[in-house]
Copies of this chain bind each other. A is one copy, B any other.
Amino acid sequence: MTVRVGVLGATGAVGQRLIQLIDPHPDFELTAVTASESSAGKSYREAAKWRVEAPIPDDVAEMTVDATTPEAVPEDVDLVFSSLPSSVGAEVEPAFCRAGYIVSSNSSNGRLDPDIPLTIPEVNADHLDLIEIQRDERGWDGALLKNPNCSTITMVPPLAALDDAFGLTDVRVSTLQAVSGAGYSGVTSMEIIDNAIPHIGGEEQKMETESRKLLGTFDGAEVDRHGMDVAASCNRIATLDGHLENVWADTADDVTVAAAEDAMEAATGIDLPSSPERLIRVFEEPDRPQPRLDRNIENGMGVAVGGFRETTDGVQFNCLAHNTMRGAAGASVLNGELLLEDGYL
């Protein structure tokens, strides 16, 4: 069975990555692309300033761009991927859900709402059934599913592995984030050449709260957030893709470097079409992972870790993932696959 899908905000940086992933997808057929009012009616080729290194798929290039409203999108679309600015997403996504569409969204709005599932399929696929609560409470025929922020996604699979094995109590994380995480024009060249910016608005809060929801427990009625104490410090640096993070994880049980590495290497989770073969790759070389060398492992869907050291109360390590693949477009596609696997489509 092929699912007919649309992409909301298809001309943006993450939108372009979504197109790239959906076009060859075995289960999804792209039938609608939307953008702002001013692009509606144009061909996708005209409307998108295409910046992905591979060329625009020919058939997508000729698609006509729709406005980003439920009325403008064909009714027989089953699933829409959303990568809208959060202020737009906050208005548009509920409208699509009311109109019966299922929305897999990368936008930050609503991620912490108690009845909106926030999932990384390999970590907390069971949270998906929050959709039942959501539909009851909101009276939607459709549904809204979120993936986390790109910097959160990078650290949560390794943290989940540690939590399962040793129990997390405190997390400190410092990020070195790529400019693509801010969108195509988000960071000017004058800001970042020979420089770093020790602040990304709202990012620290996202990492601190989303991680606790992701590692929380769903009892069928609500998600009880994990009780660990998380503090983040977020930096932008002059890399194109790939968020690198330094993590200190304090654990309830004793942990060694070897045990931590074993726990991460053993992490698997659900098997979906876009899942990496190996969720977490452990590097033994002390200077890896590095953004340019390692961001593309597992087609950009893996998480790379390394630099393990024991600390007084746990371990410290580094992790890396491709922020627009595993951290955004790929995360949404994976969530779409989870919706299909679990019978929501």
**Contact stretch, chosen from A89-97, A158-166, A262-270, A291-299:** A291-299
Contact between A174 and B246 (Cβ–Cβ < 8 Å)? yes
Q: Specify which chain B residues have a CB less than 8 angstroms from the CB of A296 in the assembled complex.
A: 53
Residue-wise interface mask of A (186-203) relative to B, using a CB-CB cutoff of 8 A (1 in contact, 0 not): 111111111111110100
The minimal Cβ–Cβ distance linking A282 to chain B, given in whole angstroms, is 14
- Check A80 for interface membership: any CB of B closer than 8 A: no
Contact between A290 and B238 (Cβ–Cβ < 8 Å)? no
- Check A231 for interface membership: any CB of B closer than 8 A: yes
- Check A124 for interface membership: any CB of B closer than 8 A: no
In the bound complex, what is the Cα–Cα distance between A205 and B22 (angstroms)?
43
Which A residues between 170 and 229 are near B, CB-CB below 8 angstroms?
172, 174, 176, 179-180, 184-199, 201, 204, 229
The minimal Cβ–Cβ distance linking A208 to chain B, given in whole angstroms, is 10
**Contact stretch, chosen from A36-44, A69-77, A306-314:** A306-314
In the bound complex, what is the Cα–Cα distance between A200 and B331 (angstroms)?
32
Closest chain B residue to A198 by CB distance?
B318
In the bound complex, what is the Cα–Cα distance between A289 and B186 (angstroms)?
19
Contact between B309 and A204 (Cβ–Cβ < 8 Å)? yes
Q: Specify which chain B residues have a CB less than 8 angstroms from the CB of A316 in the assembled complex.
A: 231, 233
Q: Specify which chain B residues have a CB less than 8 angstroms from the CB of A191 in the assembled complex.
A: 189
The minimal Cβ–Cβ distance linking A262 to chain B, given in whole angstroms, is 21
Closest chain B residue to A187 by CB distance?
B189
Question: How many copies of this chain are found per oligomer?
Answer: 4
In the bound complex, what is the Cα–Cα distance between A201 and B287 (angstroms)?
9
The minimal Cβ–Cβ distance linking A234 to chain B, given in whole angstroms, is 9
Given contacts A53-B293, A179-B189, contact A198 B244 (CB under 8 A): yes
Q: Specify which chain B residues have a CB less than 8 angstroms from the CB of A235 in the assembled complex.
A: 176, 244, 246
* A interface residues (Cβ-Cβ under 8 A, vs B): 51, 53, 172, 174, 176, 179-180, 184-199, 201, 204, 229, 231, 233, 235, 237-240, 244, 246, 248, 286-293, 296, 306-307, 309, 311-312, 316, 318
Give 15 new A-B contacts, CB below 8 A, not counting A172-B172, A185-B188, A197-B287. A51-B190, A53-B293, A174-B174, A174-B246, A176-B196, A185-B185, A187-B188, A193-B193, A193-B194, A194-B194, A196-B244, A198-B246, A231-B309, A231-B311, A233-B316
Supply 24 A–B pairs (Cβ within 8 Å), ascending by A: A51-B190, A53-B296, A172-B172, A176-B176, A176-B196, A176-B237, A179-B189, A179-B190, A187-B190, A188-B189, A189-B193, A190-B240, A194-B194, A195-B291, A195-B292, A196-B237, A196-B290, A198-B246, A199-B287, A199-B307, A229-B312, A231-B312, A233-B307, A233-B316
